[in-house]
Amino acid sequence: MKPKISISLTQKRSLLGLLFIAPWLIGFLFLFAGPLAQSIRFSFSKLMVSPQGYELQNVGWSNFHDALFVDANFNRILTESVGGMAVDVPLILFFSLFSAVLLNQKFRGRGLARAIFFLPVILASGAIAAAESSGLINLVGNSEVAEQLGQASSQFNVRSMVMILSQAGFPIGFIDYIVEAVMRIYEIISNSGVQILIFLAALQSVPGNLYEVAKIEGATAYETFWKVTFPMVSPLILTNIIYTIIDSFADSPVTQMIYETAFKTQNFGLSAAMAWLYTIVVSLLLVVMGYIVARKTFYHN
């Protein structure tokens, strides 16, 4: 009789994690690994079209040098994208957590309210955007007009807002940050749908007995939020930070510039070098933010 193989709980969780990422890993190996290696070759080469297809001429680090020191726009656009990300990520996280806490309360029409907050994500999806741009559907009119109207309506109280914040003694940098957030409220809401769902899932997974204990101990709603709710959802804060950073770079002016360099100017080597520089910057940001936030993250076992 064969002895039974005993597996610890940690090993079971590890196997479950491997099973969870198996579809992505298989797809990466068969679909993305080849093009990824090809882009590395392109970044160190100059592509020349030939009757047989194309030929690669090794140019070393020349493409990276041109992207950083010769191209007049890449550094500027990359810096502006990083600066915009630094502004958007805290605003999106704050709005998402605030909205998720409200939507987690029990009230009539809660399901409809959740659907409304997630509606901008559906309307901004690739299929809907392509169908609308081609004239097949017209659900919400022109998004640019909607954004302009949102900015125009927010400009009505900008001066009074600045005066109130200035009289309250807030520094100029903080006032500029708040004003910019108000001016970009349309973009913030449209980019917060997935984050709201993630925070909702985290809030619904918080054990109810923790709130009961806090209520018995006489904790206020403010204390309950900071002592119970916020620590319990902190692991998902890290997840949302990573997702928001990647999402903010997915359709940025840098990616558009990389695409135009490859398919309009036919400079595939320079485009690949720009893409890898962009990837390195995003990876460094993710590592730094992940390290900083992970140190403050509370994990409930």
pLDDT tens, 272-293? 999 899 889 888 888 888 888 8
Does residue 115 sit within a domain?
Answer: yes
What is the number of structural domains in the chain?
1
Neighbours of 301 (CB within 10 A): 2
In a domain, 192, yes or no: yes
Domain annotation covers residue 32: no
Q: In the chain, what is the straight-line distance between the N-terminal and C-terminal CA atoms, in Å?
A: 37
Q: Report residue 138's pLDDT band, with 50, 70 and 90 as the boundaries.
A: low
Biggest CA pair distance of the chain = 83
User: What residues are paired with 8 via a beta bridge?
Assistant: none
Is residue 38 in some structural domain?
A: no
8 Å CB contact between 258 and 206: no
Asked if residue 45 lies in contact with residue 268, where contact means CB atoms within 8 angstroms, the answer is: no
Q: pLDDT digits over 88-104, tens only?
A: 888 888 888 888 888 88
Question: HSE (CB half, 13 Å, CA atoms) of 193?
Answer: 17
Look up tokens 């400079």; give the residue.
267
pTM above 0.75, yes or no: no
Contacts of 131 (CB under 8 A, 6+ apart): 137
The stretch 230-251 carries a mean pLDDT of 84
Query: What proportion of the chain, given as a percentage, has pLDDT over 70?
Result: 84
Q: What is the pLDDT at residue 155?
A: 47
- Name the DSSP letter for residue 106: -
> pLDDT by residue (tens digit) across 179-218?
777 777 777 877 888 888 888 888 888 888 888 888 888 8
Average the pLDDT over each of 111-125, 163-177, 267-281 and give the range with the smallest value. 111-125
Q: How many residues does the chain have?
A: 301
Whether residue 170 lies inside any domain: the answer is yes
Q: To the nearest 5 percent, what fractions of the chain are helix, strand and coil?
A: 75, 5, 20
49: left (phi over 0), alpha (psi -120 to 50) or beta: beta
Distance in angstroms (rounded) separating the CA atoms of residues 265 and 274: 14
- What domain range includes position 166? 47-295
Residue 68 maps to a domain: yes
**Between the CA of residue 50 and those of 39, 42, 47, 91, 269, what are the distances in Å?**
19, 16, 9, 50, 16
Q: Which amino acid is at 156?
A: F
Q: Residue 177 is part of a domain; what is its CATH number? A: 1.10.3720.10
Least Cα distance to 177 among 52, 64, 84 occurs for 84
Q: Which residues lie below 8 Å from residue 42, measured CB to CB, with a gap of 6+?
A: 56, 268, 269, 271, 272
Question: In this structure, is residue 226 part of a structural domain?
Answer: yes
What b/e sequence results for 52-66 when a residue is b if at least 16 CB atoms lie within 10 Å of its CB, and e otherwise? eeeeeeebeebbbeb
Q: Is the pLDDT of residue 73 over 80?
A: yes
Phi, psi for 57 (deg, rounded to 5): -110, 120
pLDDT of 139 above 70: no
Whether 190 is covered by a domain: the verdict is yes
Q: How far apart are CA 286 and CA 280, in angstroms?
A: 10
